[in-house]
Structure 1
Amino acid sequence: MSGFCGWIGHSISASENLRLVRQMAGPLSRFDGSHMEPLAGMESALAIAAGDGSRHLYQKDGLIVAICGRPNFLESQLAQLALSQGVAKTLADDWRTRGEKAFSSLAGAFSFCILNEDTDEAVLATDRMGTYPVAFQLSGRALVFGSAADAILMHPLIRPEIAPQSLYNYIYFHMVPGPGTIYREQARLLPGEYLIYRKGRVETRRYWEMRFLEGERRPFQELKEGFLGVLRSSVREAAGDQKVGTFLSGGTDSSTIAGILGEVTGQPARTYSIGFDASGYDEMAYARIAAKHFGTRHQEYYVTPDDIVAAIPQVAAIFDQPFGNSSAIPAFYCARMAKADGLNRMLGGDGGDELFGGNTRYAKQHLFSLYEQIPALLRKAVIEPVVLGIPGGAALPLMRKARSYVEQASIEMPARTETYNLLEHYGARAVFTQEFLETVDPGYPAELLSDIYHQSSAKSLINRMLAFDRKFTLADNDLPKVSKACELAGMDVAYPLISDEIVDFSLQLEPQLKLKGTKLRYFFKEALRGFLPDEIIGKQKHGFGLPFGVWLQHHKPLQALAFDSLNDLKSRHIINTRFIDKLLEQHLGEHAGYHGTMVWVLMMLEQWYRQRQGLI
C-alpha cells in the first residue's frame, strides 16, 4: 500500500533532514518493498513509498507535493494537464491558483501532501472513502505526519505515549476508530477531510461528504443500464494495466467483480478463494458456483489452524495500531496466493453493502423502526405495560421475543446497533482493571457513534446507516483490513465498488431501492439478475469469517499462542485478570464462536504490543 511521511516546522540541516525522512519512511515499505523517494527542504521533508503508477512527486520554488494512489481530476482541462505534465504538478498549480477549492476537483483513491516552506503552510488530505489513511501530530510548531503511525514515531519530536481511551475504544469496537489513534496527541483524517497547517496551527475541514438525493425517481431500466455502465468503467479503471486478480468469497460483490472483470478485459478473470475445514464457516461451494458461471481461472486455498498461528505475529506487525478483525488472516492468504501467481493487484469487493444496503443489520433496524411509528401514548400506556409487565412473561417463548423486541426498539439510534456489543455484554467493570477505568471515559464510544450518526442530513433510516457505515465499517475496519493484508503479501489493492462513479450513483438511488422492506440490496440484486447465478443472488451474507473459537478448542499450538498472549496481557494492568481467567476457563467452553471473538481481540492487542517492543 502506498504511503508518505514527513514534517514541516522543524529544522536540523538539509542533509540531516534527508537522512531522517529516509529513516521515517522505512516502516512504509518494510513489507511490500515499494520504491521510496525522499525530498527535503530547510524546515521540511517528505518521503513517499509506493509502486509505479501510485507515486506522484513534484518540487519547485519551495513547494513540495506528494500524492499516493490513483487520483484523477473531475474537470476535463485539469485531467488533460495531468496526462501531459503529471498529477502532482497539476495539483500544485491548481492549489496555487484556487487554494482549497482545488480539492473538490480531485477524485479517485488517494492521499496527498502539500508543503510550502515559503509561506509556512502544509495541506494533508485523504480520499472521499478514506482508502488511503493519513495521521498527524503537532509538536510545538512542527507538524509531523505519515500514512502510518509507525513512521511518525521515528521523528525525534514525537514521544510514543499510548492513549488509554484508545485502548478502551479498541476493546469496544475491535479497532481504534478515527479520528483517534492509539497514541496520545495523534489523530488521523476522516474520509473526505483535509488538514490545513499554517505557522504552527492546524485545522481540519471537509471537502466532500455524502449527500443523498432521496427524492430522485427514475425508471428501473434506465437505472439498470446506468449502473452496469458505471460498474464496468469502475472495474476497468481499477484493473488498469496491471496483472490483476480478484477475491472471490462467493458473495454478491466479489462474484460481480469477477464477472465484470472477465467482461471488460476479454479474458477469464483470475479469482482466489479461501476455505475452512470447519462446519458452518466454509463458503467455497458458492465461490465455485461463481467461478464456473463466469469461467474464471480459479485458485483455492484452505486455511489451517497452523496457518493462523504462523500469520498472527505478522498481521499484528503490519497494523500500526491494534486491530481485531480476524478476517485479515484469510485476506492475507488469499492475496499471497495471487502474489505467487505473479499478479500485482487485487480487486476487493468492499463497499457494496455500505452503498446499496446489504448488511443484515439494516433489515433488523428497519423492523425496530416500525415500533417508533406507533403513537407514543399507545406504546407507553398499553404495549409496554403488557409486554414488559406480565409476571413470568420471560418464561414464555412468544412473550420473551416480544419483550426483547420492545426493549431493543425502545433504544434510540445509533445506540440500538450496539445491543449485541461484546464489551457491553460482559460489562466494562468486569473486563477492565479499576485503575485503568479511572483513566478513561466509558461513555466516549456511544458519544462518537451518536456524533457520526447525526452528522448525516439523510432523512431515511437506511441512508443514515449507510453514511454511518462509510466511516465505522469501511474506513475504520474493512478497508484497512484488506489493504494491510495485501500489503503484507506485497500486493496492491483497489476497490472498484467504492469508485466515485458508483458512490455518486448510489447517492441518487431512492431509499426503498436499497432496502425494500427487509429485502437487502434490492436494486443491486435485481439489476444483476441474469448476470449473477441465482444461487449467489439468493444466498445469505457470510464472507471470510474465521473459525478461530472452534479451532481454539482442539488445536494445541493455537491454544498455546492465545493463552500465552492473554496471560502476558495481564501484566499490562489493562484487563482484569479474573476476567481473562474466566474467559479462558469457562466462557470458551460455553460458546466457542461467541467468546472466541474476545479472546482474539485481546490476543491481538498483546501481539501488537510485542511487535512494537523497543518502540513504545
Structure 2
Amino acid sequence: MCGIVGQYNVSIGQNIDAELLTRMRDTMVHRGPDGAGIWISEDQRVGFGHRRLSIIDLSEKASQPMLDPSGQVCLTFNGEIYNHVELRAELEKKGHAFKTSHSDTEVLLHAYLQWGIEAIQKFRGMFAFSIWDGRTRDFFLVRDRMGVKPLYWAQYDGKISFASEIKALLEDRDLNRELNTDKVADYLSFLALPAPNTLFKGIKKLGSGTFIHVNSSGKIREEKWWDPLIGSQKYASWDSDNIIECVREKIKEAVALRSIGDVPVGIFLSGGIDSSANAALFAQHSGHVKTFSIGYDQDYSSYTNELDYARKAADYIGAEHHELKLKKADLQSFLPDMVYYQDEPIADPVCIPLYYVSKLARDHGVTVCQVGEGADELFCGYPNWKRSIQRQKMLSRFDMKGVGAGMLAAGLNAAGKGHTQTYDHLMRASHGHPIFHGGAESFSHKRKTDILNEEMFAEKAIPSTWEGIEHLHDRFIANGGKGILKWMTYLDLNYRLPELLLMRVDKMSMAVGLEARVPFLDHEFVEMSLSIDERILTEGGNLKHVLKKAVRGLIPDEIIDRKKQGFGLPLEDWIVDDLEDQLFETICEFNNSTQVLNGKFDRSVFSNMMASHKWTLGNLALWWKRMLCNTSVLSA
C-alpha cells in the first residue's frame, strides 16, 4: 500500500520539474512512511513518484517506481495483487525472469509486458496504478474493480497529473484551486461526489473498474473495464443449500487471500455480523488475530456502544483484543486534520472513529487490517433498504405512477411535507423512475432548493439526484439488470461504496500508514453474490438472510440475531454548544465567499436542521477553508 503520483507532459517542449514532483510525492508521506522513489524518462516528458508502505516483499528490490528489464516500461502502483503467486508461476512458464523473491509489483509489471493492459482482468486485488510504455508511448491510469483505491487526475497546460490524493496535485501552482459549484447539489444528495467529478473544478477521479489510456498522439480514452453484473452471469442457477455453502467457502477464501503479507495483520471489530465473521475466519486461517474496536465514554441517546458485543466476539474466537473509548473532545481536536486527510468532503462522521481505530491498530504494531464493508450491500443488510423494497412493491401493486403519484405528491407539498422522503418517492414514481436513488441519500430535493442559490448552477437549475444516477440505471438495464434489490446493490456498488464508504476507509486508515483490506468486496465474491435470486436473499423478510445462515456456528448466535446497528458515533449529542456555533460560523464564512447558499439560510434554518445535515454542510465549509483557502480550520 502506497501513495503514487506522476505527470505526463503531452505537449512537446515541456520538461518534468523534479523538485515539484518530489513535493507532490511527499505530501503523502503518511501513505508511505517506509521509503520514497522518483523516476523521470530520458526525454523528460514523463515523471513518476512513489511513497512506500512496505507490506509484501520488504526488500529494496521491490521499491518503486519500477522499470522493466529493458528500462522502457515504468510502473507506479498502490495496492495489493492477492493472486500474485499464481500469476508469477504462470509468467515464469512463459519465460519471464524476476529480480525479486515475491513482489506483487513486479508481477503486475511483467503481466503487462506479457498481456498488455488486458492483464488487469487477471488481477485479484485492490489497486490504482499508472504505466508508461516508452516502446509505444502509451500512458495508462487504472482503478480497481470495486474502487477500493482512489486515483485522481487533472489535464491542464498541456500535461496530465495524477495522484492517490488531491493534495499532491495541488502542489502544482499551474492547477487552480477553485470550487466546483455545479456539483455542490450532488454532494448534498450523496454525501460524497460520485466519480468522475470532485468539488475541485478541473480535478477528476477515476470511477471504479475504469482505466484511462492516452496514446502517442495525446488522445484520451476512458473505458469501463469491469462491471459486476456481467461477471455475475458466469454463475449458474442453484438451490438454497448450495448457495449457503458457496457463500461460506467464497468468503473464507477471500479472507485467507487478504491475510498475505510480511507484516502483522489485524481486524476492525465492531461487534456486528460482518466484522465478527471476518475475524473468526481470519483466526481459523492464521491461528492468531488482533482485533480493534472503538466505543465512547458513555452511552448516548443518539448512539449506544457496541463494545460488549465486540468483546464477546473477540472472546469467542480467542482474539487479542484492544479497544479505545472516544470523548467529544476527540471529535473537535481531529476536525482540522480530518478535512485535510479527506481531500474532498466526505460527509460521513464515521471518519472520526475510523481514524482513531486505525491509529489504535497502528499503535499496537499492526500495518494491515481487514474491514467489513460490502456485506450489507450484497445481502440486503440495511433496514432502509427493506423499507424501500416494500414501498416500491406497494407503489407497483397499486399502479401508483404517472398522474396518480403526481397528485399525491402535490397534496403532500401543499400540506408542507414536500421535504419528506415520501414526497420524493412519489415524484420519482410519477416519472417512472426507481424510487431508490442510493443508500447515502441525504438532502431531499426540496431541502436543497430551500437553501441553495440557483444562480450559482449551470442553467440556473438545481440538479436532482436522478440526473446524477440516470446513466447508471441505463447501464444497469443494458447489462441485463432486473429487480428492485439488484438495482439497489448495483447503484451502491458503483456510487456509495467506492466514493463514500471505501473512500473514508482509505483516507482515514492511510492517514496513519495503515492498509485496509475488504474481503466482502473480493470481485469473485461480489459476482457470485449478485447472481443469487432476490427471493432467496430476502427469504422470510429477514435482513442478510443468506449471510446469517452461512456464518451460523462460526460466531455467537447472539451476534447473528441481534438488531442491526450501524457503525457510528453520537453525532446528535456531540454536535451542540461550541461545535455547532463554530460550524455555523464557518458555513457563513464559506457562503460569504462563494454565495452557494441563498438568502433564506440563516441561524434559524441551521438550528432546525437535523444533526446529519448540519454535519454535511459543516464538513463542506471546513473543507473549503482548509483546502481551498489554505487556512486553519477551527480556532484552538
**TM-score bracket for the superposition, by shorter chain length:** 0.7 to 0.9
Task: State the SS of the aligned residue for 1:131.
Answer: coil
Q: Does 1:286 align with 2:286?
A: no
Task: State the SS of the aligned residue for 1:48.
Answer: strand
**Counterpart among 94, 103, 128 of residue 120 in structure 2:** 103
Q: Does 1:297 align with 2:323?
A: no
1:209 — aligned with what?
Answer: 227
1:68 — aligned with what?
Answer: 78
**Counterpart among 241, 255, 260 of residue 276 in structure 2:** 255
Task: State the SS of the aligned residue for 1:462.
Answer: helix
Q: Does 1:574 align with 2:596?
A: yes
Maintained 8 Å contact 2:8/2:45: yes
User: TM-score, normalized by length of structure 1?
Assistant: 0.87
Query: Take 1:21 and 1:438, find their aligned partners in 2: how far apart are those partners?
Result: 35
Maintained 8 Å contact 2:6/2:47: yes
Gap regions ≥5 residues in structure 1: 589-594
Q: Does 1:546 align with 2:569?
A: yes
Maintained 8 Å contact 1:548/1:596: yes
Residue 136 of structure 1, CA deviation = 1.5
Query: Take 2:401 and 2:104, find their aligned partners in 1: how far apart are those partners?
Result: 59
Q: Does 1:487 align with 2:510?
A: yes
Q: Does 1:183 align with 2:205?
A: no
Provide Cα deviations, 1:146-174, integer angstroms capped at 9, x if missing partner. 11222122235422322112223222222
Query: Take 1:249 and 1:31, find their aligned partners in 2: how far apart are those partners?
Result: 24
Give the percent of matched residue pairs that are identical in Structure 1 and Structure 2. 21
Residue 176 of structure 1, CA deviation = 1.5
Query: Take 1:401 and 1:96, find their aligned partners in 2: how far apart are those partners?
Result: 52
Q: Pick closer, same or farther for the CA change 1:18–1:492 going to 2, 3 Å.
A: same
User: Following superposition of structure 1 onto structure 2, how do residues 232-247 of structure 1 map, counting pairs within 5 Å?
Assistant: 232-241=252-261, 242-247=263-268
2:46 — aligned with what?
Answer: 44
Maintained 8 Å contact 1:273/1:284: yes
Q: Pick closer, same or farther for the CA change 1:79–1:175 going to 2, 3 Å.
A: farther
Residue 108 of structure 1, CA deviation = 0.5
User: TM-score, normalized by length of structure 2?
Assistant: 0.85
Residue 272 of structure 1, CA deviation = 2.0
Maintained 8 Å contact 2:369/2:517: yes
Query: Take 2:107 and 2:31, find their aligned partners in 1: how far apart are those partners?
Result: 31
Residue 386 of structure 1, CA deviation = 12
Task: State the SS of the aligned residue for 1:430.
Answer: helix
127-136 or 236-245, which moves further after superposition?
A: 236-245
Provide Cα deviations, 1:4-23, integer angstroms capped at 9, x if missing partner. 11111258999963322111
Query: Take 2:423 and 2:29, find their aligned partners in 1: how far apart are those partners?
Result: 54
1:353 — aligned with what?
Answer: 376
Q: Pick closer, same or farther for the CA change 1:561–1:425 going to 2, 3 Å.
A: same
Task: State the SS of the aligned residue for 2:39.
Answer: strand
Residue 402 of structure 1, CA deviation = 11
Task: State the SS of the aligned residue for 1:45.
Answer: strand
User: Following superposition of structure 1 onto structure 2, how do residues 130-145 of structure 1 map, counting pairs within 5 Å?
Assistant: 130-145=147-162
Q: Does 1:602 align with 2:617?
A: yes
Q: Does 1:231 align with 2:251?
A: yes
37-46 or 510-519, which moves further after superposition?
A: 510-519
**Counterpart among 166, 190, 193 of residue 183 in structure 2:** 166
Provide Cα deviations, 1:78-120, integer angstroms capped at 9, x if missing partner. 5544894554444444434543322212221111111134533
Gap regions ≥5 residues in structure 2: 57-62, 632-636
308-317 or 502-511, which moves further after superposition?
A: 502-511
Query: Take 1:460 and 1:220, find their aligned partners in 2: how far apart are those partners?
Result: 19
Query: Take 2:535 and 2:458, find their aligned partners in 1: how far apart are those partners?
Result: 46
Provide Cα deviations, 1:413-454, integer angstroms capped at 9, x if missing partner. 444447995432653332123542467652264212121133
Maintained 8 Å contact 1:244/1:270: no
Query: Take 1:69 and 1:419, find their aligned partners in 2: how far apart are those partners?
Result: 27
Task: State the SS of the aligned residue for 1:272.
Answer: strand
Query: Take 1:372 and 1:9, find their aligned partners in 2: how far apart are those partners?
Result: 54
**Counterpart among 131, 142, 148 of residue 165 in structure 2:** 148
Query: Take 2:439 and 2:380, find their aligned partners in 1: how far apart are those partners?
Result: 20
Task: State the SS of the aligned residue for 1:267.
Answer: coil
Task: State the SS of the aligned residue for 2:124.
Answer: strand
**Counterpart among 447, 460, 475 of residue 455 in structure 1:** 475
Q: Does 1:431 align with 2:451?
A: yes
Provide Cα deviations, 1:218-264, integer angstroms capped at 9, x if missing partner. 34443333332322232222232432222122211111112112211
Task: State the SS of the aligned residue for 1:612.
Answer: helix
User: Partner letter of residue 48 of structure 1?
Assistant: H
Query: Take 1:316 and 1:291, find their aligned partners in 2: how far apart are those partners?
Result: 32
Query: Take 1:550 and 1:356, find their aligned partners in 2: how far apart are those partners?
Result: 31
Q: Pick closer, same or farther for the CA change 1:30–1:488 going to 2, 3 Å.
A: closer
RMSD (CA atoms)? 3.5
User: Partner letter of residue 53 of structure 1?
Assistant: I
Residue 279 of structure 1, CA deviation = 2.4
Maintained 8 Å contact 1:169/1:176: yes
Maintained 8 Å contact 1:293/1:533: yes
User: Following superposition of structure 1 onto structure 2, how do residues 368-517 of structure 1 map, counting pairs within 5 Å?
Assistant: 368-371=391-394, 373-374=396-397, 376=399, 412-417=432-437, 421-424=441-444, 426-437=446-457, 441-443=461-463, 445-456=465-476, 457-516=480-539
Residue 140 of structure 1, CA deviation = 4.6
Maintained 8 Å contact 2:436/2:488: no
Q: Pick closer, same or farther for the CA change 1:285–1:436 going to 2, 3 Å.
A: same
Maintained 8 Å contact 1:14/1:40: no
Aligned length: 600
Query: Take 2:113 and 2:151, find their aligned partners in 1: how far apart are those partners?
Result: 22
Query: Take 2:486 and 2:325, find their aligned partners in 1: how far apart are those partners?
Result: 37
2:130 — aligned with what?
Answer: 113
Query: Take 1:105 and 1:603, find their aligned partners in 2: how far apart are those partners?
Result: 43
Q: Pick closer, same or farther for the CA change 1:405–1:560 going to 2, 3 Å.
A: closer
292-301 or 596-605, which moves further after superposition?
A: 292-301
Residue 132 of structure 1, CA deviation = 1.0
User: Partner letter of residue 560 of structure 2?
Assistant: I
User: Partner letter of residue 166 of structure 1?
Assistant: K
Query: Take 1:373 and 1:335, find their aligned partners in 2: how far apart are those partners?
Result: 45
Q: Pick closer, same or farther for the CA change 1:116–1:433 going to 2, 3 Å.
A: same
Q: Pick closer, same or farther for the CA change 1:30–1:53 going to 2, 3 Å.
A: closer
Maintained 8 Å contact 2:209/2:226: yes
2:23 — aligned with what?
Answer: 23
Task: State the SS of the aligned residue for 1:28.
Answer: coil
Provide Cα deviations, 1:326-350, integer angstroms capped at 9, x if missing partner. 1100111111222222221221110
Maintained 8 Å contact 1:194/1:205: yes
Query: Take 2:157 and 2:451, find their aligned partners in 1: how far apart are those partners?
Result: 37
299-308 or 473-482, which moves further after superposition?
A: 299-308
Task: State the SS of the aligned residue for 1:366.
Answer: helix
